[in-house]
Amino acid sequence: MSDAPKRRVLVLSTLWPNEAHPRFGTFVARSIEALARETDWQPVVINPIGLPPVVFGRYKTVRDAAVSGTEKGVEIHRPVFRLLPKVGGRLNPALIASAVMPLARTLHEAAPFDLVDAQFFYPDGPAAMRIADELDLPFSVKARGADIHYWGARSYGLAALRETADKAAGVLAVSDALADDMAALGMPREKITIHRTGLDRDRFRPLGHTQLRTRLAEELGIPLSKDDQLLATVGALIERKGQALVIKALGDLPEARLLLVGKGEDEASLRALARSEGVADRVHFLGLLDHDLLPLVLSAADAMVLPSASEGLANAWIEALACGTPIVITDAGGAREVVDTPVAGVIVARRTEAVREGIRLVLQNRRPPEEVAACVKEYSWEANGRALGAHYDRLLEG
């Protein structure tokens, strides 16, 4: 970093950890924190918190988390916007922009920004577009996967995505495959720069000591033996992630035990499926794990299995490989950009029998953990932060 005055970027992100949801959007936070450490850019984050007209139930905790401050060296502001649960998707960009605009103007007047950035394409992108226009600044927007595939399938969402991409000074995507999907939806491919995820290399690394499974069994309160074929699936418990396919595959894998990491709306149906398939004693629902415990799970596992219907480039892929654990995944998003060697694992069709055979193939061809971890040696949050800063630089200098 130079001694020149720092450039300032106003980062708009509905994805950001808070007291109510401490693991929500941690990958966005790590990226922006690395930007602040590794470059001459000074980020100021606006993390809008959505609340319904009547605050009830879990929203009371969310309301109490709408607190501003400085977190890990980054200035965070959490204004509240009006949220209409389940029906407000079309309105959210305008509602966010309206709620954020007075704060954005005040911050800009106090210390001018050079750029506005949205860390999620929808609803953040169209909201950032409005704010940037009001402040007469260029803006950048990043695509991560679900924001493109979900909202791009809705007419109003697709129109908003296209307008945002057209007016942005620059666009980021987490994989080449996602960039191609965006181009297929009518967004300018030549404007898209690939910005891959980062990785906490101190935390996610092979932890191969002999007592690892014993320690993990004690931590989780579940039976684990050294002879188990241990599978892990990391992701929200929703249909798109494909946990049901992994549970069904267990029926013909009698020595396999499955650790499901994540929470979501499908948990009850997945538990029922495990019972009906006769494998409930070998399927363990771990919920949302502390990030210090997740590397233990991934390092202890023989494979990380995630048969997603769609992805950008899943952090879970990279974290598993960094722990020396091969992956069994479907041909979604940037899968072929990650599994480009048999050492990293296999890509399978999104069918139970294909998932089962993929697991068997990986288990039969185990490689040293250090060799697997080398597949993602280029990933780090430091590299991610520097790449983001270089992208911002190009937008101002171009």
Residues 117-169 have pLDDT tens digits of 999 999 999 999 999 999 999 999 999 998 999 999 999 999 999 999 999 99
Q: What is this structure's pTM?
A: 0.91
Indicate the average pLDDT of the chain: 94
How does residue 2 score in pLDDT terms, banded at 50, 70 and 90?
A: low
Model pLDDT, residue 236: 94
How confident is the model over 58-86, as a mean pLDDT?
90
Q: Please check the confidence at residue 337 and state whether its pLDDT lies above 70.
A: yes
Model pLDDT, residue 55: 82
Write out pLDDT tens, residues 288-317. 988 789 999 999 999 999 999 999 999 999
Alpha-carbon torsion angle 235, 151, 124, 132, nearest 10: 150
- Of 102, 112, 108, nearest to 80 (Cα)? 102
Model pLDDT, residue 23: 86
Model pLDDT, residue 1: 60
Burial of residue 176 (number of CB atoms within 10 Å: 0-12, 13-18, 19+): middle
Model pLDDT, residue 89: 86
Looking at the chain, the whole-number percentage of residues with pLDDT higher than 90 is: 84
Block residue for tokens 């210090």: 292
How confident is the model over 92-115, as a mean pLDDT?
97
Q: Please check the confidence at residue 178 and state whether its pLDDT lies above 90.
A: yes
Model pLDDT, residue 346: 98
Model pLDDT, residue 379: 97
Write out pLDDT tens, residues 244-255. 999 999 999 999
How does residue 62 score in pLDDT terms, banded at 50, 70 and 90?
A: confident
Pairing relationship of beta strands 74-77 and 69-71 according to DSSP bridges? antiparallel
How does residue 84 score in pLDDT terms, banded at 50, 70 and 90?
A: confident
* Contact present, 45 and 76 (Cβ < 8 Å): yes
Kindly report the number of other CB atoms within 10 A of residue 191's CB atom: 16
Whole-number Cα distances in Å, 332 to 312, 314, 316, 341, 346: 8, 10, 13, 16, 12
Q: Please check the confidence at residue 24 and state whether its pLDDT lies above 80.
A: yes
Highest mean pLDDT among 22-31, 44-53, 103-112: 103-112
Model pLDDT, residue 230: 96
Q: Please check the confidence at residue 5 and state whether its pLDDT lies above 90.
A: no
How does residue 172 score in pLDDT terms, banded at 50, 70 and 90?
A: very high
